[in-house]
């Protein structure tokens, strides 16, 4: 603590004293020191983020950094809670002012919200550095160039990647040479022991498919099952039967003539059908911001070149390999000639071009991080409500004895389980409702009961632990009660008419799918859904606002009264 | 003009008790608004005294003491020079009832053991100290918790006439110091400022009030210390400081001097007396203790509890005024036979050996002077003598 004190500047100590003497409630939240230390923590996070090594080929995952930083953040939050509950105006029966109580609550809410800046700052700093590795234009161009050449690479899982170990993943640069040599040696020994294989290998080693025509290729998405499986199974079947007929161990089945027949059939498939399957998806990193060429455009460009018999150009192939190698050391620069050879031989590419996929998608994600605050309203809603709940619990803890607080926590955890068990026992047989409905109604009724019990606090002559527990539970529930009620009204009683509208649409669709009223009804359903979402969100935030401004001081008074009442024994 | 207070200060400055002199000087300056210009000087004097005195050491002496005395005399004479203005602008307040109860009963029952406190009638007035005495387990703490509004009662009526009806607001006028004070956080200074501020004493008034309290209660040197750095005696003084800083109307203390040494007890009780009788902010103090003689020395009223019943409840000086006998505690080179020989059989109504002292009951006519003379004439040497005829102490040994 002494070391921490040294980090606090003089002016802050002056503010500290002034707050203490003029605004004791705000002082008790320690918001001034909290903001200062948050500033230091965030500055430290920025420095750390700047020190972390970031390159095209290697950088940490910002999301993982965020997760790691949650550990010190939770530790800081615990420390903050410890500091924030130390000084308490209510437990010393200090003067009460409603606006001051509201101010205290808002300060605690914002304080807990700001704690989340610690993990965000580090992740964001690193993310922004990753995003800045390449300009948006350059990145989009590189991805498009890479994608545009993919048609010349037969990619697939059957290619043996010497860099990859199933247990340990990809080896580092230093390990590669050694592993390759060892593998070659082992392979040579195995080959020497094995009799010369007479088996024929399917072209492309399963990494590609045969199509009867370009038209068939273009329509593969809709008719994939029929086309691909039929022809490919047929082709594989010829190869397999031919290999079986050449099996010298099978004295009955061995028949080289029959094998030649089967292989001829396979040859006919290979000769007659173009060997094509271009999947660009793997190399299309998802991004809301970056405008890559869509798959359809890339395919069209490739098909144009393929159908026109345009030869493979070395330069774009080399460039694509260079781009892949820029983002992954595992992408091999084998040269355009070898790529052409592998394409002609219809074998999987040994360029390992897919190795850069993960890196590209992480960079695209990092570029999206710049729009994180706009892109993820759900995340911020969650954080805001989480910190609101934390502030609510903290304030409640400050204003009542710890014993009812703990009982309330346990009760809050146990009651839903009891309700669930009761619902499972009673559903349908005793109560003509499903288990979900029983649970929803039971929780709503419990909440109403707790609210009703609040009215008895005014007439109490002595402190009662059970009433304190009820006040605590009611306090936690009340900000969300309105939205919960609206949810029940919507789901169970269809107050917005969404179910009725859906039923109407369904009825019309069943009788006539082409009914001219359907588009308008669908549009109406969309608008209604948006309206319901707005209403739900508005009710949620309205409930929270009402709590902060009006109900929080009310609950504070209830706590204060309970704390001031004499004990019974 | 409160001439007696100025005379008191002059007498103190002529003696050696500089601690009491500086405290009383602060009290005087605080009691009269007209002395507001001298108040900072008195505070500074007291602060300097606190800082000069080594912890655990005796009273100051030598040059520093002389210097402080000289400064104190200067302030006292400046006060005296203001003369009649003090009378006109004084803040002396009429004593008022801040608590009264009638027929209050509290019953406990646990594990087959039943206990009933009361019925008790009690009145607390500002400017008065009420001592609650009795053996352990006789309901002293229960009574004090009822007065503080911490404990509900089963029968009877309790009123806090000067306090708001709302329980929370009312608790804001009653200060409660438990036998074992709860741990607090932060420094002593922070706590005093915070406590004063939440009771509406903000800004410059806050600083003034806190500094006044710190210096007045001798806590100047401890302002920046925390809970673990204070001894139990100073923790108690801090608790007192934290309560008086916001000027409560009722101060309730449960066994406050149990853990204090003799000097600290004296100091603490002196402060309580001065606090209660403050002309500007008189407080009603009620406290429990086993140190009967010390309590009787400062209390205006005594409540003696035995088996939950108030055996005596009234003024300290009025106890057993219509008695027929006197009771003395003696210790020395004496035994029953020597006493009877010295005093005569008719003067020894009862003689009990408590194991520590002899308790002698005599006819009322045999006063302490006569008794001492008789014993001296008989050549009996005494190492301990106390007249408890008008002390509730003798109730400890009576069956009721």
Taking CA atoms, what residue in B is nearest to A18? Answer: B203
Among A206, A53, A68, smallest CA distance to A130 is for A53
Average pLDDT over residues A269-279: 70
So what's the pLDDT on residue A185? 57
CA distance B112 to chain A (A): 16
Burial class (CB in 10 A: 0-12, 13-18, 19+), A487: middle
Q: pLDDT tens digits for B90-108? A: 555 677 899 999 999 998 8
Provide the chain A residues 21-50 that lie in CB contact (below 8 A) with chain B.
21-25, 27-28
Taking CA atoms, what residue in A is nearest to B142? Answer: A569
Q: pLDDT tens digits for B329-362? A: 888 877 778 888 888 878 888 888 888 888 888 8
Provide the chain B residues 162-181 that lie in CB contact (below 8 A) with chain A.
166-168, 170-172
Q: Does B142 touch chain A (CB under 8 A)?
A: no
CA distance A16 to chain B (A): 10
Q: pLDDT tens digits for A67-83? A: 999 999 999 999 999 98
Distance of CA A11 to the CA centre of its chain: 43
Q: Does B118 touch chain A (CB under 8 A)?
A: no
Average pLDDT over residues A262-289: 77
C-alpha separations of B348 from B8, B182, B387, B388, B390 in Å: 42, 50, 15, 16, 18
Q: Which residues of B touch A564 (CB under 8 A)?
A: 149, 166-168, 170-171
Three-state SS sequence of chain B? CCHHHHHHHHHHHHCCCHHHHHHHHHHHHHHEHHHCCCHHHHHHHHHHHHHHCCCCCCCCCCHHHHHHHHHHHHHHHHHHHHCCHHHHCECCCCCCEEEEEEEEEEEEEECCEEEEEEEEEEEEECCCEEEEEECCCCCHHHHHHHHCCCECCCEEEEECCCCCCCHHHHHCCEEEECCCCCCCCCEHHHHHHHHHHHCCCCHHHHHHHHHHHHHHCCCHHHCCCEHHHCCHHHHHHHHHHHHHCCCCCEEEECCCCCCCCHHHHHHHHHHHHHHHCCCCCCCEEEEECCCHHHHHHHCCEEEEEECCEEEEEEECCCCCCCCCEEEEEEEECCCHHHHHHHHCHHHCCEEEECCCCEEEEEECCCCHHHHHHHHHHCCCCEEEEEECCCCHHHHHHCCC
Q: Does B190 touch chain A (CB under 8 A)?
A: yes
Indicate the range of A142-156, A256-270, B87-101, B278-292 predicted with least confidence.
B87-101
Q: Does B197 touch chain A (CB under 8 A)?
A: yes
Give the CB-side neighbour count of residue A531, counting CA atoms within 13 A.
Answer: 11
- B194/A24 CB distance under 8 A: yes
Q: Which residues of B touch A557 (CB under 8 A)?
A: 168
C-alpha separations of A39 from A117, B345, B363 in Å: 10, 89, 82
Taking CA atoms, what residue in B is nearest to A85? Answer: B185
- B193/A566 CB distance under 8 A: no
DSSP classification of residue A96: -
Distance of CA A180 to the CA centre of its chain: 37
At A159, the pLDDT band (50, 70, 90 cuts) reads: very low
- B197/A21 CB distance under 8 A: yes
Q: Which residues of B touch A556 (CB under 8 A)?
A: none
CA distance B350 to B363: 10
Q: Does B198 touch chain A (CB under 8 A)?
A: yes
Q: Does B384 touch chain A (CB under 8 A)?
A: no
Beta-strand pair B97-110/B113-125: antiparallel
- B168/A561 CB distance under 8 A: yes
CA distance B243 to chain A (A): 10
So what's the pLDDT on residue A157? 44
Q: pLDDT tens digits for B298-335? A: 999 999 998 889 988 888 888 888 888 889 888 887 77
Indicate the range of A214-228, B39-53, B59-73 predicted with least confidence.
A214-228
Average pLDDT over residues B17-45: 87
Provide the chain A residues 158-217 that lie in CB contact (below 8 A) with chain B.
none
Q: Does B352 touch chain A (CB under 8 A)?
A: no
Q: Which residues pair with B250 in a beta bridge?
A: B174, B284
Q: Which residues of A touch B202 (CB under 8 A)?
A: 21-22, 24
CA distance A86 to chain B (A): 7
Taking CA atoms, what residue in A is nearest to B172? Answer: A93
CA distance A492 to A439: 13
Q: pLDDT tens digits for B190-212? A: 999 999 999 999 999 999 999 99
CA distance A421 to chain B (A): 37
Computed over every residue of chain A, the mean pLDDT equals 84
Taking CA atoms, what residue in A is nearest to B243? Answer: A92
Distance of CA A312 to the CA centre of its chain: 40
Q: Does A458 touch chain B (CB under 8 A)?
A: no
Q: Does B186 touch chain A (CB under 8 A)?
A: yes
So what's the pLDDT on residue A232? 74
Among A274, A360, A291, A368, smallest CA distance to A320 is for A360
Residue A174 has pLDDT above 50, yes or no: no
Q: What percent of chain B has pLDDT over 90?
A: 30
Q: Which long-range contacts (CB under 8 A, 24 or more apart) does B261-269 make?
A: B261/B233, B264/B233, B265/B291, B265/B294, B266/B294, B267/B19, B267/B218, B268/B236, B268/B237, B268/B240, B269/B294, B269/B295, B269/B297, B269/B298
Q: pLDDT tens digits for A35-61? A: 999 999 999 999 999 999 999 999 998
Residues 6 or more apart in contact with residue B62 via CB below 8 angstroms: none
Residues 6 or more apart in contact with residue A120 via CB below 8 angstroms: A66
So what's the pLDDT on residue A71? 94
- A21/B108 CB distance under 8 A: no
Average pLDDT over residues A486-500: 94
CA distance B190 to A291: 59
- A89/B190 CB distance under 8 A: no
Taking CA atoms, what residue in B is nearest to A13? Answer: B190
So what's the pLDDT on residue B65? 79
Residues B49 and B60: beta-carbon distance below 8 Å = yes
At B89, the pLDDT band (50, 70, 90 cuts) reads: low
Indicate the range of A120-124, A279-283, A496-500 predicted with least confidence.
A279-283
So what's the pLDDT on residue A219? 64
Q: Which residues of B touch A561 (CB under 8 A)?
A: 166-168
Residues A463 and A565: beta-carbon distance below 8 Å = yes
Residue B275 has pLDDT above 70, yes or no: yes
Average pLDDT over residues B48-53: 86
So what's the pLDDT on residue B377? 85
- B197/A569 CB distance under 8 A: no
- A21/B171 CB distance under 8 A: no
Q: Which stretch of DSSP H or E encloses residue A164? A: strand A164-165
User: Is residue B119 reached through a cis peptide bond, with omega within 30 degrees of 0 on the bond before it?
Assistant: yes
- A560/B168 CB distance under 8 A: yes
* Interface size, chain A vs chain B, as Cβ–Cβ contacts under 8 Å: 77
pTM: 0.79
Q: Does A87 touch chain B (CB under 8 A)?
A: yes
Provide the chain A residues 287-346 that lie in CB contact (below 8 A) with chain B.
none
Interface probe for B, chosen from A28, A32, A94 (most Cβ of B below 10 Å), is: A94
At A113, the pLDDT band (50, 70, 90 cuts) reads: very high
Among B111, B117, B113, B198, smallest CA distance to B151 is for B117
Q: What percent of chain B has pLDDT over 70?
A: 94
At A229, the pLDDT band (50, 70, 90 cuts) reads: low
Kindly report the backbone phi and psi dihedral angles of residue A277, in degrees, each rounded to the nearest multiple of 5, phi listed first.
Answer: -165, 105
Interface probe for A, chosen from B116, B170, B176, B198 (most Cβ of A below 10 Å), is: B198
A87 → closest Cβ in B194, B196, B202: B194
Q: Does A8 touch chain B (CB under 8 A)?
A: no
Q: Which residues of B touch A461 (CB under 8 A)?
A: 152
- A20/B197 CB distance under 8 A: yes
- B167/A17 CB distance under 8 A: no
CA distance B184 to A316: 74
Q: pLDDT tens digits for B224-238? A: 999 999 888 888 889
Q: pLDDT tens digits for A76-110? A: 999 999 989 888 888 888 888 888 889 999 999 99
Q: Does this complex have an ipTM over 0.90?
A: no
Residue B61 has pLDDT above 80, yes or no: no
Residues B99 and B250: beta-carbon distance below 8 Å = yes
- Spell A77-99 as b/e; 16+ CB within 10 A means b: beebbebbbebbbbebbbbbeee
Average pLDDT over residues A406-423: 94
Q: Does B189 touch chain A (CB under 8 A)?
A: no
How many CB atoms are closer than 10 A to CB B43?
Answer: 22
The most confident of the ranges A205-219, A392-406, A537-551, B151-165 is A537-551
């Amino acid at each position: 603590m002494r070391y921490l004190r040294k980090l606090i500047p003089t002016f802050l100590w002056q503010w500290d004293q002034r707050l203490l003497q003029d605004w004791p409630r705000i002082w008790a939240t320690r918001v001034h020191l909290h903001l200062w230390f948050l500033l230091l923590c965030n500055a430290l996070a920025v420095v750390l983020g700047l020190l972390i090594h970031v390159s095209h080929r290697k950088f940490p995952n910002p999301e993982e950094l965020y997760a790691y930083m949650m550990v010190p953040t939770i530790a800081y939050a615990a420390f903050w809670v410890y500091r924030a509950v130390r000084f308490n105006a209510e437990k010393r029966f200090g003067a009460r002012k409603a606006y001051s109580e509201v101010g205290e609550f808002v300060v605690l809410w914002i304080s807990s919200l700001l704690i989340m800046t610690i993990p965000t700052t580090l992740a964001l700093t690193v993310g922004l550095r990753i995003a800045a590795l390449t300009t948006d234009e350059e990145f989009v161009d590189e991805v498009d160039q890479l994608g545009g050449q993919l048609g010349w690479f037969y990619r697939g899982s059957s290619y043996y990647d010497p860099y990859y170990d199933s247990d340990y993943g990809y080896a580092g640069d230093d390990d590669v040479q050694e592993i390759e040599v060892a593998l070659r040696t082992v392979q040579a020994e195995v080959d020497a022991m094995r009799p010369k294989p007479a088996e024929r290998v399917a072209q492309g080693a399963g990494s590609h498919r045969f199509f009867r025509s370009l038209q068939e290729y273009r329509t593969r998405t809709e008719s994939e099952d029929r086309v691909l499986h039929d022809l490919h199974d047929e082709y594989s079947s010829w190869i397999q039967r031919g290999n079986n007929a050449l099996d010298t161990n099978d004295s009955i089945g061995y028949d080289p003539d029959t094998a030649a027949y089967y292989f001829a059939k396979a040859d006919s498939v290979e000769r007659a059908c173009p060997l094509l399957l271009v999947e660009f998806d793997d190399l299309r990193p998802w991004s809301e911001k970056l405008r890559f060429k869509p798959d359809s455009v890339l395919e069209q460009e490739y098909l144009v070149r393929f159908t026109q018999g345009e030869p493979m150009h070395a330069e774009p192939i080399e460039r694509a390999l260079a781009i892949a190698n820029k983002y992954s050391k595992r992408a091999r620069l084998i040269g355009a000639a070898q790529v052409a050879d592998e394409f002609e031989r219809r074998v999987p590419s040994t360029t390992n071009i897919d190795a850069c996929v993960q890196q590209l998608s992480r960079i695209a994600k990092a570029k999206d991080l710049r729009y994180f605050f706009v892109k993820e309203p759900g995340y911020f809603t969650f954080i805001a409500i989480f910190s609101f709940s934390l502030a609510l619990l903290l304030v409640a803890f400050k204003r009542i004895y710890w014993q009812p607080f703990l009982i309330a926590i346990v009760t809050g955890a146990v009651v839903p389980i009891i309700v669930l068990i009761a619902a499972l026992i009673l559903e349908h047989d005793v109560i003509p409702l499903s288990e979900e409905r029983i649970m929803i109604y039971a929780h709503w009724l419990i909440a109403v009961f707790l609210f009703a019990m609040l009215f008895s606090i005014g007439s109490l002559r002595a402190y009662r632990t059970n009433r304190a527990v009820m006040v605590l539970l009611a306090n936690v529930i009340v900000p969300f009660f309105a939205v919960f009620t609206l949810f029940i009204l919507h789901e169970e009683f269809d107050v917005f008419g969404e179910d009725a509208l859906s039923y109407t649409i369904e009825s019309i669709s069943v009788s006539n799918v082409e009914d001219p009223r359907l588009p308008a009804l669908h549009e109406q359903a969309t608008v209604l859904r948006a309206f319901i979402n707005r209403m739900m969100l508005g009710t949620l935030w309205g409930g929270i606002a009402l709590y902060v401004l009006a109900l929080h001081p009310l609950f504070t008074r209830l706590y204060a009264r309970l704390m001031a009442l004499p004990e019974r024994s | 003009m409160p001439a007696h207070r100025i005379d008191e200060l002059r007498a103190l400055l002529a003696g050696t008790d500089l601690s009491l002199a500086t405290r009383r000087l602060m009290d005087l300056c605080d009691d009269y608004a007209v002395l507001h210009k001298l108040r900072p000087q008195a505070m500074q004097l007291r602060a300097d005294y606190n800082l000069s005195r080594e912890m655990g050491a005796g009273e100051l002496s030598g040059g520093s003491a002389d210097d402080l005395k000289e400064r104190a005399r200067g302030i006292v004479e400046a006060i005296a020079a203001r003369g009649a203005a003090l009378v006109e602008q004084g803040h002396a307040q009429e004593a008022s009832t801040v608590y009264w109860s009638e027929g209050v009963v509290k019953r406990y029952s646990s594990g087959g053991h039943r206990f009933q406190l009361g019925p008790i009638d009690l009145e607390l007035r500002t400017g008065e100290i009420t001592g609650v005495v009795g053996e352990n387990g006789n309901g002293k703490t229960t009574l004090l918790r009822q007065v503080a509004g911490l404990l509900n009662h089963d029968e009877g009526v309790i009123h806090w006439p000067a306090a708001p009806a709302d329980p929370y607001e009312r608790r804001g006028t009653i200060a409660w110091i438990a036998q074992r004070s709860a741990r607090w956080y932060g420094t002593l200074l922070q706590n005093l400022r915070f406590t004063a501020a939440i009771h509406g004493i903000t800004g410059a008034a806050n600083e003034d009030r806190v500094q006044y309290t710190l210096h007045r209660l001798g806590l100047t040197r401890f302002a920046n210390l925390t809970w673990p750095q204070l001894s139990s005696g100073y923790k108690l003084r801090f608790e007192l400081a934290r309560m008086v800083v916001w000027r409560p109307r009722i101060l309730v203390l449960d066994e406050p001097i149990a853990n204090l040494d003799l000097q600290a007890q004296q100091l603490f009780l002196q402060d309580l007396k001065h606090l209660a009788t403050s002309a500007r902010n008189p407080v009603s103090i009620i406290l429990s203790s086993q140190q009967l003689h010390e309590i009787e020395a400062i209390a205006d009223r005594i409540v003696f509890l035995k088996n939950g019943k108030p055996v005596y409840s009234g003024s300290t000086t009025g106890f057993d005024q219509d008695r027929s006998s006197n009771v003395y505690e003696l210790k020395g080179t004496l035994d029953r036979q020597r006493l009877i020989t010295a005093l005569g059989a008719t003067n020894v109504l009862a003689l009990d050996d408590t194991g520590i002292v002899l308790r002698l009951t005599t006819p009322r006519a045999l006063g302490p002077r006569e008794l001492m003379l008789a014993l001296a004439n008989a050549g009996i040497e005494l190492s301990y003598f106390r007249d408890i005829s008008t002390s509730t102490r003798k109730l400890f040994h009576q069956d009721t």
